[in-house]
Amino acid sequence: RDEAETEADLDRDIRRAKTILSLDAAMNKVDRFLKTHSPRMGRGKRVKEVKSNLTDNESAKMTTSKGTIQGYNGVATVDKKHQIIIDAQAFGEGQEHHTLQPVLEMVEARFKKLGIAENIYQKGTVVTADTGFANEANMKYLHEQRINGYIPDNQFRSRDPKFADQKDKYGKRHQNLPDKGWRETTPASAFQFDPVALTCICPTGEKLSFRGQRATDTGKTRVHFEGRLLQCRHCS
């Protein structure tokens, strides 16, 4: 018993030492970052400090359809006439507003360097961008630089008569999606269970797939069945 207690104490001391080393390394990493970096400011309407990232401080937290990620916003510029990408950049910002000016300046500089045009925007070039670039600063920039640009705001569909009967024609968005939230649970008595053949029929007549059986803490045997996605997707 003395030997066992001695070994346990030794393992505990080793774990404690490793934990201290790990915490010291993390503290030193944060300390070096704070000494070599300045606060990162956002570029929204209200300029405020944004959270920094110790691993890649040029990236940003962005909300996507797959959740919040740490990444970059890719902006590509395309020549519609010749069907080629003339510029592609990555910005560590979730919003696209402030990226329009550096992208257009890069395109202008590239065309000038290649000897195609001294100022590509004065050669009849038309610039179009989506609603993500629509704000007062960008409109002012296009006007001052005499760039023939078209950027719709996020309310343009409500003013365009072509979209007046869109909802009547195609239906409202998400109208066919099921309601979210808790639903009433169907009791087990509503299912047809055969303990001998180990089969189960749901209340709508669909045969469920057998997924095994296991004993509970009380000693009872619980049998598990599961419905396929194609069976249950449109079931009320």
Helix H, strand E, coil C: the string for 68-109 is EEEECEEEEEEECCCCEEEEEEEECCCCCHHHHHHHHHHHHH
Check residue 165 and give its pLDDT. 79
The answer on 83 and 134 residing in a single domain is yes
Residue 28 covered by a domain: yes
The answer on 196 and 139 residing in a single domain is no
Residue 177 covered by a domain: no
Residue 6 covered by a domain: yes
The answer on 146 and 91 residing in a single domain is yes
The answer on 155 and 95 residing in a single domain is yes
Does the pLDDT at position 178 exceed 60? no
- Mean pLDDT confidence for 191-217: 91
Q: Which of 116, 146, 161 delimits the end of a domain?
A: 161
Pair 134, 152: CB distance under 8 Å: yes
| Whole-angstrom distance, CA of residue 21 vs CA of residue 18 | 5
The range of the structural domain enclosing residue 119 comes to 78-161
The answer on 198 and 152 residing in a single domain is no
Check residue 179 and give its pLDDT. 59
Does the pLDDT at position 175 exceed 60? no
| Whole-angstrom distance, CA of residue 172 vs CA of residue 151 | 25
Q: Which of 144, 161, 178 delimits the end of a domain?
A: 161
The pLDDT tens digits of the residues spanning 57-78 come to 888 888 877 788 888 989 999 9
Pair 87, 80: CB distance under 8 Å: no
Residue 103 covered by a domain: yes
The pLDDT tens digits of the residues spanning 77-126 come to 999 999 999 999 998 887 788 899 999 999 999 999 999 999 999 988 99
The answer on 100 and 139 residing in a single domain is yes
Residue 168 covered by a domain: no
The answer on 139 and 98 residing in a single domain is yes
Check residue 199 and give its pLDDT. 94
The answer on 157 and 91 residing in a single domain is yes
**Nearest Cα to Cα of residue 232 among 212, 190, 203, 210:** 203
State the Cα angle at 160 between 158 and 161, rounded to 5°.
Answer: 105
pLDDT confidence tier of residue 42, bands split at 50, 70 and 90: confident
- Mean pLDDT confidence for 147-170: 84
The answer on 153 and 192 residing in a single domain is no
The answer on 156 and 91 residing in a single domain is yes
Residue 9 covered by a domain: yes
Does the pLDDT at position 48 exceed 70? yes
Check residue 85 and give its pLDDT. 96
Residue 46 covered by a domain: no
Residue 60 covered by a domain: no
Task: Quote the number of domains for the chain.
Answer: 3
